[in-house]
Amino acid sequence: MKRYLLWLLLIGASYIGPLLANESSLEAPERVVLQLRWLHQPQFVGYHMAKAKGFYAKAGLDVEIRPGGKGISPVDEVQSGRADFGVGNTEVLTAYANGKPLLALACVFQHSPSIFLARRDSGILTVDGMRGKRIMMFSAHQDAELLATLFYQGLNESQLTPIQTSVNIDDLIEGKVDIFNAYLSNEPFYLEERGIPVSVINPRNYGIDFYSDILFTTQAQEQAHPGRVERFRTASLEGWRYALAHPQEAIALLRSEYGVNRSQAHMEYELQVSKEMIQPLYVEIGYMNPDRVTHIMEQLAEIGLIKRPVPLTDFLYQAPSEQWVFWRPWFLLSLAACVLILLLAVYLLVCNKRLNREIALRQQREEEILQLARQDPLTGLPNRLSLMERLEAQISSPNPGCLLFCDLNNFKQVNDGFGHSHGDAILCQLAERITRSLNHQRFFARLAGDEFVLLLPDHDQFDAEAIAEVIRMAMAQPFQVNDHLLAVGISVGVSQYQPGWRAEQWLIHADRAMYNDKGIELAVAPP
């Protein structure tokens, strides 16, 4: 009996020892510094939430979150050792390609929020309309997606008037610049909130789709402290998952702890738009697609930001399998060699089957994402990308026909008075109502916001005006949303295609016709 008790004590000690060691490590957390790329705001709230909810502390880390700003480079801060981790843009990839030994831990934003922003009354609706205009941007490495958009659309610096960004949206409001580098999740709402209609020119609509807000460190940091790097990454992503699931708590944290004083509606909008870019369908938070990163690097080489693409072997972090957490010495000592071999064989078999399932699932997800890229997620109608592809094909036909540009009247009042949920419901009902009234053979697309476009091949002006009247009659009846009856008018502009027009020109003329229908005169853009 004494012999058995002795063996039980030895086995118990082998389990208790590591537990005590873990508790002592928690008593003295490791201090690390995270350098943000801008000021404290919803864009980084996942890291703030990881700190506030104790995810970092649970991982044995005492994290200082340093705000960024104009003139502060997260790459320089991490490379110099003043910070252990950083949040950077495409400059992380360009710095690695140019010889700096950086390590990408996670791509938090699957789609970059960087956009061109112009006042609607400027007449600038497309990249082509930016020729000769005053444009405000960061340096090329910080605004690489914007630079790539200009490059692939055939615009260079000599065709623009570049101005170093002031990071002050008032410069656009006051007309000091024509185009402003902005974030889709921020400035458009700020201007719309103040009653200033804007024109959003999104690089994604031109085939430029970069990662953004890359969480990174140095290769030396990972080699010296692999456990710390893994714990920091895991806790950070846990913070992001919590923040996106609890937006009101995230907003309250930013107000109370970090002094963010934007309006409630503004921050709700920013978090919602950010969530769509951080966690799109079928993609986990922080996912890094090696093929996509390679494609981005090839584009960076084409626009001249790097000399040539380089292998990504040392750039993309490979998180250790969660299964290996259990393979600790104290645990292995409790197992016989034969049991270990058996478990390892089973583990490899399961991993192989899981890998095959993941490969098939990712292929399916990629196909679904390509399909969704041409579909408006709210109404199910074709989106702007699908519309522009259809217009490009239509203008090469013998009789392109007419284009109807539709815009709701006083739609902002519905959003302000009843909330965006009511506005979204009206947009869905509108799409269904007009589609049903016209028949399903028509090509009817949602351009953006409350703007819709109807393509009428082989139609003349007279026929198109008749169809415009059908649309107005279809909108005559109020919309019922919950217990509210909401009357929303519609303005319809008709534009018959003229020989020599590009697709963008056709769309612009239709847009101007719509504003004429509203009784609003716009500034005429130069030809």
The domain that contains 451 carries what CATH number?
Answer: 3.30.70.270
Shared domain check, 73 and 132: no
The residue among 187, 206, 225 that closes a domain is 206
Residue 450 forms part of a structural domain: yes
Residue 103 forms part of a structural domain: yes
Shared domain check, 181 and 47: no
Shared domain check, 148 and 243: no
3-state class of 444 per DSSP?
strand
pLDDT of amino acid 78? 98
Residue 411 forms part of a structural domain: yes
Average pLDDT, the chain: 88
User: What is the domain range of residue 338?
Assistant: 322-372
Please report which confidence band the pLDDT of residue 435 belongs to, taking 50, 70 and 90 as the band edges.
confident
Q: What is the pLDDT of residues 57-80, one digit of tens each?
A: 999 999 999 999 888 999 999 999
Shared domain check, 128 and 89: no
Residue 444 forms part of a structural domain: yes
Please report which confidence band the pLDDT of residue 13 belongs to, taking 50, 70 and 90 as the band edges.
very low
Shared domain check, 188 and 72: no
Residue 360 forms part of a structural domain: yes
SS3 sequence of 445-470: EEEECCEEEEEECCCCHHHHHHHHHH
Shared domain check, 215 and 90: yes
Buried-state track 149-177, b at ≥16 Cβ within 10 A, e below 16: bbebbebeeeebeebebeeebebbeeeeb
Shared domain check, 256 and 284: yes
Whether residue 142 has pLDDT greater than 90: no
Q: Measured between alpha carbons, how far is 518 from 512 in angstroms, rounded to an integer? A: 10
What is the domain count for the chain?
Answer: 4
* Contact by Cβ (8 Å): 266, 190: yes
| CATH number of residue 180's parent domain | 3.40.190.10
Q: What is the pLDDT of residues 481-523, one digit of tens each?
A: 988 888 888 999 999 999 999 999 999 999 999 999 888 755 4
Give the closest residue to 115 by CA, choosing from 9, 210, 11: 210
Share of the chain above pLDDT 70, in %: 90
Shared domain check, 74 and 122: no
Whether residue 82 has pLDDT greater than 50: yes
3-state class of 429 per DSSP?
helix
For residues 125-143, average pLDDT? 86
Whether residue 273 has pLDDT greater than 80: yes
Shared domain check, 240 and 331: no
Shared domain check, 216 and 202: no
Residue type for 17, please? G
Q: Lowest mean pLDDT: which of 162-166, 288-292, 459-463?
A: 162-166
Please report which confidence band the pLDDT of residue 327 belongs to, taking 50, 70 and 90 as the band edges.
very low
pLDDT of amino acid 441? 65
63 CB contacts (<8 Å, ≥6 apart)? 31, 32, 33, 34, 47, 50, 51, 56, 232
Residue 258 forms part of a structural domain: yes
- Scan for tokens 């003139």, then name that residue: 71
Residue 400 forms part of a structural domain: yes
> Residue 495's Cα: distance from chain center in Å?
34
Residue 524 forms part of a structural domain: no
Shared domain check, 130 and 67: no
The residue among 244, 270, 302 that closes a domain is 302
The residue among 177, 206, 235 that closes a domain is 206
- Cα 380–Cα 381–Cα 383 angle in degrees, nearest 5: 110
Q: Measured between alpha carbons, how far is 96 from 75 in angstroms, rounded to an integer? A: 10
Shared domain check, 96 and 119: no
Q: Would the pTM count as exceeding 0.95?
A: no
DSSP string for 50-102: HHHTTHHHHTTEEEEEE---TT--HHHHHHHTS-SEEEE-THHHHHHHTT--E
Whether residue 322 has pLDDT greater than 50: no
Residue 393 C-beta-side C-alpha neighbours within 13 Å: 8
Q: Lowest mean pLDDT: which of 230-239, 294-303, 413-422, 434-443?
A: 434-443
Q: Measured between alpha carbons, how far is 410 from 426 in angstroms, rounded to an integer? A: 12
Q: Lowest mean pLDDT: which of 155-164, 177-186, 241-250, 456-465?
A: 155-164
* Contact by Cβ (8 Å): 176, 219: no
3-state class of 31 per DSSP?
strand
Helices (H) and strands (E) in the chain, counts: 20, 16
